[in-house]
Amino acid sequence: MMPDIETFWRDLNLIRTINPLVLNITNYVVTNNTANALLAISASPIMSFAKDEVEELVGLSAALVINVGTLNAGDIEVMAAAWAAANAKGIPVVFDPVGAGASRLRTDTSLSMLGKYSPSVIRGNASEIMTLAGEAGQSKGVDSSQSAGSAAGIAQALALVNSCVVCVSGEEDMVTDGNEGYRVCGGHEIMPRITGLGCTASAICAAFAAVNKNCLEATVHGMIAMAIAGALAAKKSDGPGSFQMHLYDALYSLTETDVERFMEIYPL
Protein backbone atom coordinates (compact mmCIF):
# COMPACT_ATOMS: atom_id res chain seq x y z
CA MET A 1 0.00 0.00 0.00
CA MET A 2 1.35 3.37 -0.99
CA PRO A 3 2.08 5.71 1.92
CA ASP A 4 -0.39 8.57 1.83
CA ILE A 5 -1.49 11.65 3.71
CA GLU A 6 -3.25 9.55 6.30
CA THR A 7 -0.29 7.28 7.10
CA PHE A 8 2.08 10.26 7.11
CA TRP A 9 -0.10 12.30 9.40
CA ARG A 10 -0.64 9.35 11.75
CA ASP A 11 3.12 8.87 12.14
CA LEU A 12 3.90 12.56 12.53
CA ASN A 13 1.31 12.74 15.28
CA LEU A 14 2.85 9.71 16.94
CA ILE A 15 6.24 11.46 16.95
CA ARG A 16 4.62 14.59 18.35
CA THR A 17 2.93 12.56 21.09
CA ILE A 18 5.61 10.03 22.03
CA ASN A 19 8.71 12.21 21.44
CA PRO A 20 10.84 9.14 20.66
CA LEU A 21 14.47 9.21 21.77
CA VAL A 22 16.78 9.03 18.73
CA LEU A 23 20.43 8.25 19.40
CA ASN A 24 22.91 9.72 16.92
CA ILE A 25 26.51 8.66 16.38
CA THR A 26 27.11 11.26 13.75
CA ASN A 27 29.70 13.58 12.31
CA TYR A 28 31.12 16.74 13.89
CA VAL A 29 29.72 19.01 11.18
CA VAL A 30 26.04 18.31 11.71
CA THR A 31 25.58 17.48 15.41
CA ASN A 32 23.80 20.74 16.07
CA ASN A 33 21.60 20.70 12.94
CA THR A 34 20.61 17.10 13.49
CA ALA A 35 19.60 17.73 17.08
CA ASN A 36 17.63 20.83 16.10
CA ALA A 37 15.81 19.07 13.25
CA LEU A 38 14.84 16.19 15.55
CA LEU A 39 13.63 18.60 18.22
CA ALA A 40 11.71 20.59 15.60
CA ILE A 41 9.77 17.50 14.56
CA SER A 42 9.21 16.64 18.26
CA ALA A 43 11.65 13.77 18.62
CA SER A 44 14.14 13.77 21.47
CA PRO A 45 17.75 13.62 20.20
CA ILE A 46 20.80 12.39 22.06
CA MET A 47 24.33 12.38 20.66
CA SER A 48 27.15 10.23 21.89
CA PHE A 49 30.79 9.66 21.01
CA ALA A 50 31.62 7.33 23.92
CA LYS A 51 31.90 3.57 23.63
CA ASP A 52 31.33 3.34 27.38
CA GLU A 53 27.78 4.58 27.20
CA VAL A 54 26.32 3.72 23.80
CA GLU A 55 25.01 0.28 24.69
CA GLU A 56 23.18 1.80 27.62
CA LEU A 57 21.86 4.68 25.51
CA VAL A 58 20.69 2.26 22.82
CA GLY A 59 18.69 0.61 25.58
CA LEU A 60 16.79 3.87 26.12
CA SER A 61 16.39 4.73 22.44
CA ALA A 62 13.70 4.07 19.88
CA ALA A 63 16.01 4.45 16.87
CA LEU A 64 19.70 4.82 16.05
CA VAL A 65 21.47 6.90 13.39
CA ILE A 66 24.97 5.92 12.26
CA ASN A 67 26.65 8.59 10.12
CA VAL A 68 30.26 8.31 8.91
CA GLY A 69 30.73 11.95 7.85
CA THR A 70 33.82 12.58 9.97
CA LEU A 71 35.15 9.13 10.81
CA ASN A 72 38.04 8.47 13.11
CA ALA A 73 39.25 5.33 14.83
CA GLY A 74 37.50 6.05 18.11
CA ASP A 75 34.16 6.84 16.54
CA ILE A 76 34.22 3.67 14.43
CA GLU A 77 34.35 1.64 17.64
CA VAL A 78 31.48 3.64 19.09
CA MET A 79 29.42 3.05 15.96
CA ALA A 80 30.11 -0.68 15.97
CA ALA A 81 29.14 -1.02 19.63
CA ALA A 82 25.96 0.99 19.17
CA TRP A 83 24.94 -0.80 15.99
CA ALA A 84 25.49 -4.25 17.51
CA ALA A 85 23.40 -3.28 20.53
CA ALA A 86 20.63 -1.88 18.33
CA ASN A 87 20.50 -5.08 16.29
CA ALA A 88 20.39 -7.14 19.47
CA LYS A 89 17.59 -5.02 20.87
CA GLY A 90 15.76 -4.86 17.55
CA ILE A 91 15.59 -1.09 17.25
CA PRO A 92 15.76 0.44 13.78
CA VAL A 93 19.13 1.68 12.48
CA VAL A 94 19.44 4.33 9.78
CA PHE A 95 22.86 4.26 8.16
CA ASP A 96 24.20 7.34 6.35
CA PRO A 97 27.40 6.58 4.38
CA VAL A 98 28.53 10.22 4.02
CA GLY A 99 31.41 10.44 1.56
CA ALA A 100 31.52 6.73 0.72
CA GLY A 101 33.48 6.67 -2.51
CA ALA A 102 35.49 9.75 -1.57
CA SER A 103 37.98 7.84 0.58
CA ARG A 104 38.81 4.19 1.12
CA LEU A 105 38.36 4.74 4.86
CA ARG A 106 34.75 5.78 4.37
CA THR A 107 34.02 3.13 1.75
CA ASP A 108 35.72 0.29 3.60
CA THR A 109 34.29 1.22 6.99
CA SER A 110 30.80 1.44 5.52
CA LEU A 111 31.09 -1.91 3.75
CA SER A 112 32.69 -3.58 6.74
CA MET A 113 29.92 -2.41 9.08
CA LEU A 114 27.25 -3.47 6.58
CA GLY A 115 28.92 -6.89 6.51
CA LYS A 116 28.63 -7.25 10.28
CA TYR A 117 25.47 -5.38 11.24
CA SER A 118 21.99 -5.01 9.80
CA PRO A 119 20.69 -1.63 8.75
CA SER A 120 16.98 -0.91 8.62
CA VAL A 121 17.54 1.94 6.20
CA ILE A 122 20.52 3.10 4.14
CA ARG A 123 20.15 6.73 3.05
CA GLY A 124 22.70 8.42 0.85
CA ASN A 125 23.16 10.39 -2.34
CA ALA A 126 23.51 8.54 -5.64
CA SER A 127 27.32 8.43 -5.53
CA GLU A 128 27.33 6.98 -2.03
CA ILE A 129 24.69 4.36 -2.81
CA MET A 130 26.49 3.34 -6.01
CA THR A 131 29.72 2.99 -4.07
CA LEU A 132 28.10 0.70 -1.50
CA ALA A 133 26.72 -1.40 -4.35
CA GLY A 134 30.22 -1.83 -5.74
CA GLU A 135 29.79 0.62 -8.61
CA ALA A 136 32.30 3.37 -9.21
CA GLY A 137 30.27 6.21 -7.78
CA GLN A 138 32.38 9.06 -9.12
CA SER A 139 31.67 10.96 -5.95
CA LYS A 140 33.03 14.45 -5.52
CA GLY A 141 33.94 14.64 -1.90
CA VAL A 142 30.68 14.43 0.02
CA ASP A 143 28.58 15.78 -2.87
CA SER A 144 27.11 13.47 -5.45
CA SER A 145 28.08 13.53 -9.11
CA GLN A 146 25.17 11.26 -10.02
CA SER A 147 21.44 11.82 -10.14
CA ALA A 148 19.17 9.75 -7.91
CA GLY A 149 17.36 8.35 -10.94
CA SER A 150 20.52 6.81 -12.36
CA ALA A 151 20.88 4.78 -9.16
CA ALA A 152 17.41 3.20 -9.16
CA GLY A 153 18.33 -0.33 -10.19
CA ILE A 154 21.41 -0.30 -8.03
CA ALA A 155 19.39 0.83 -5.02
CA GLN A 156 16.97 -2.04 -5.47
CA ALA A 157 19.82 -4.53 -5.62
CA LEU A 158 21.47 -3.03 -2.55
CA ALA A 159 18.17 -3.21 -0.66
CA LEU A 160 17.76 -6.89 -1.50
CA VAL A 161 21.35 -7.77 -0.55
CA ASN A 162 21.03 -6.01 2.82
CA SER A 163 17.36 -6.86 3.42
CA CYS A 164 16.74 -3.24 4.16
CA VAL A 165 15.24 -0.08 2.77
CA VAL A 166 17.47 2.05 0.55
CA CYS A 167 16.82 5.74 0.03
CA VAL A 168 18.69 7.67 -2.64
CA SER A 169 18.14 11.35 -2.11
CA GLY A 170 18.50 13.92 -4.82
CA GLU A 171 16.32 16.20 -6.91
CA GLU A 172 13.74 13.46 -6.44
CA ASP A 173 14.15 10.95 -3.65
CA MET A 174 13.83 7.27 -4.35
CA VAL A 175 12.92 4.81 -1.60
CA THR A 176 12.83 1.06 -2.12
CA ASP A 177 12.96 -2.19 -0.21
CA GLY A 178 13.99 -3.99 -3.38
CA ASN A 179 10.48 -5.05 -4.28
CA GLU A 180 8.28 -2.06 -3.73
CA GLY A 181 9.46 1.49 -4.25
CA TYR A 182 8.42 5.13 -4.38
CA ARG A 183 9.60 8.46 -5.65
CA VAL A 184 9.17 11.45 -3.34
CA CYS A 185 9.18 14.84 -5.05
CA GLY A 186 9.31 18.34 -3.66
CA GLY A 187 11.97 20.14 -1.70
CA HIS A 188 13.96 22.81 -3.50
CA GLU A 189 17.07 23.07 -5.62
CA ILE A 190 18.84 25.17 -2.95
CA MET A 191 18.91 22.23 -0.51
CA PRO A 192 22.32 20.83 -1.59
CA ARG A 193 23.74 24.28 -0.81
CA ILE A 194 23.12 23.87 2.93
CA THR A 195 25.49 21.50 4.69
CA GLY A 196 24.12 18.39 6.31
CA LEU A 197 20.58 18.30 4.95
CA GLY A 198 21.21 14.72 3.86
CA CYS A 199 22.27 13.94 7.42
CA THR A 200 19.17 15.75 8.64
CA ALA A 201 17.01 13.62 6.35
CA SER A 202 18.56 10.46 7.80
CA ALA A 203 17.77 11.61 11.32
CA ILE A 204 14.19 12.52 10.40
CA CYS A 205 13.76 9.07 8.80
CA ALA A 206 14.98 7.57 12.08
CA ALA A 207 12.34 9.55 13.99
CA PHE A 208 9.66 8.04 11.75
CA ALA A 209 11.19 4.56 12.00
CA ALA A 210 11.00 4.97 15.78
CA VAL A 211 7.20 5.03 15.58
CA ASN A 212 6.53 2.76 12.58
CA LYS A 213 7.89 -0.76 12.22
CA ASN A 214 7.28 -0.63 8.46
CA CYS A 215 10.63 0.87 7.50
CA LEU A 216 9.68 1.45 3.87
CA GLU A 217 6.72 3.54 4.94
CA ALA A 218 8.71 5.25 7.69
CA THR A 219 11.48 6.24 5.28
CA VAL A 220 9.01 7.55 2.73
CA HIS A 221 7.36 9.56 5.51
CA GLY A 222 10.71 10.97 6.58
CA MET A 223 11.57 12.08 3.07
CA ILE A 224 8.08 13.56 2.67
CA ALA A 225 8.60 15.62 5.83
CA MET A 226 11.89 16.94 4.42
CA ALA A 227 10.39 17.61 0.98
CA ILE A 228 7.39 19.52 2.34
CA ALA A 229 9.38 21.45 4.93
CA GLY A 230 11.94 22.22 2.22
CA ALA A 231 9.29 23.53 -0.17
CA LEU A 232 7.77 25.69 2.57
CA ALA A 233 11.15 27.01 3.69
CA ALA A 234 12.19 27.88 0.14
CA LYS A 235 9.16 30.12 -0.29
CA LYS A 236 10.33 32.32 2.58
CA SER A 237 14.07 32.26 1.91
CA ASP A 238 16.55 34.57 0.22
CA GLY A 239 19.39 32.08 0.26
CA PRO A 240 20.85 29.12 2.14
CA GLY A 241 21.13 30.93 5.48
CA SER A 242 17.49 31.86 5.72
CA PHE A 243 16.48 28.52 4.20
CA GLN A 244 18.13 26.63 7.07
CA MET A 245 16.26 28.72 9.62
CA HIS A 246 12.90 28.40 7.90
CA LEU A 247 13.39 24.64 7.52
CA TYR A 248 13.41 24.17 11.30
CA ASP A 249 10.37 26.41 11.63
CA ALA A 250 8.58 24.43 8.92
CA LEU A 251 9.40 21.03 10.44
CA TYR A 252 8.11 22.38 13.75
CA SER A 253 4.80 23.69 12.51
CA LEU A 254 3.94 21.31 9.65
CA THR A 255 0.15 21.23 9.28
CA GLU A 256 -2.22 18.85 7.58
CA THR A 257 -2.92 21.58 5.03
CA ASP A 258 0.79 21.80 4.20
CA VAL A 259 0.83 18.06 3.63
CA GLU A 260 -2.25 18.18 1.43
CA ARG A 261 -0.77 20.95 -0.67
CA PHE A 262 2.79 19.74 -1.03
CA MET A 263 2.96 15.96 -0.66
CA GLU A 264 4.05 14.37 -3.93
CA ILE A 265 4.66 10.64 -4.10
CA TYR A 266 4.63 8.15 -6.98
CA PRO A 267 5.23 4.43 -7.32
CA LEU A 268 8.71 3.72 -8.65
Positions in the binding site for a copy of itself (CB under 8 A): 19, 21, 23, 27-33, 35-36, 39-40, 42, 44-50, 52-53, 56-57, 60-61, 69-74, 99, 102-106, 140-143, 192-196, 237-242, 244-253
Q: Please, what is the minimum distance in Å from the beta carbon of residue 221 to a copy of itself? A: 20
**C-alpha span between 213 and 110 (Å, rounded):** 24
**For the chain, the helix, strand and coil percentages under 3-state DSSP, each to the nearest 5:** 55, 15, 30
Min CB(110)–a copy of itself separation in Å: 12
Nearer to a copy of itself, 6 or 238 (CB): 238
Which residues is 21 bridged to in the sheet?
44
Residue 160 belongs to what H/E stretch?
Answer: helix 152-162
Which of residues 1 and 73 has its CB atom nearest to a copy of itself in the complex?
Answer: 73
Bridging pattern class, strands 181-185 and 173-176: antiparallel
**Min dist. Cβ of residue 159 to a copy of itself (A):** 27
Tell me how far apart the terminal alpha carbons of the chain are, to the nearest angstrom. 13
What CA–CA distances, in Å, run from 48 to 15, 146, 162?
A: 22, 32, 26
Residue closer to a copy of itself (CB basis): 46 or 157:
46
**In contact, 141 and 102? CB cutoff 8 Å:** yes
Min dist. Cβ of residue 199 to a copy of itself (A): 11
- What is the nearest approach in angstroms of a copy of itself to the Cβ of residue 1? 32
Nearer to a copy of itself, 55 or 180 (CB): 55
Q: Decide whether 156 or 237 has the Cβ nearer to a copy of itself.
A: 237
